[in-house]
Every structure is written in structure tokens, then in C-alpha cells.
Amino acid sequence: MKNQKETGITDAYSLFVYAIRTQITRDYYFRRLRTFFDFIELLPNSRIENRCNHFAAIAIKDNN
């Protein structure tokens, strides 16, 4: 946990963004992720950051 705080990576969204190096790939993945969240109707009017973190929290609680 200490290493995560030192690098500023503390949530699912930050980990997702940090893992993608190029902006073109990042934009492509964001488009696909937004489409997925829209399909499952996960927080429809929220920012992508909130949607990612909320989805990760749900997945941790119920991994089935």
C-alpha cells in the first residue's frame, strides 16, 4: 500500500490509465469501456473515472 501512495496510484481508474502507455490506445480503450458501461447501465450520467471505480468496487464485493 505504501508504494501505491508514493506513485499516486490508489484506485482502479488510476491503475487502468497508468497501465496504458500511448494516448491512441488509451482513447480506444476508454471508448470500449464507456460502451460496456452504457450496455450494463452502470451510472449512466457519471464520469468514466467514477464508473471504473464503482465497477471495481462491485467486482470486489461480488466476483460471481
Q: Domain-by-domain residue ranges, the chain?
A: 2-61
48 CA to centre of own chain: 7
HSE at residue 7, side-chain half, CA atoms within 13 A, is 10
Span 50-62, mean pLDDT? 91
- Inform me whether the pLDDT recorded for 1 exceeds 50: no
Lookup: cell for 41: 447501465
* Residue 55 confidence (pLDDT): 92
pTM of the model: 0.74
Give pLDDT tens digits for 11-55.
Answer: 888 888 889 999 999 999 999 999 999 999 999 999 999 999 999
Q: Give the pLDDT of residue 9.
A: 62
* Residue 36: per-residue pLDDT: 95
d(CA 44, CA 48): 10
Residue with cell 465497477: 55
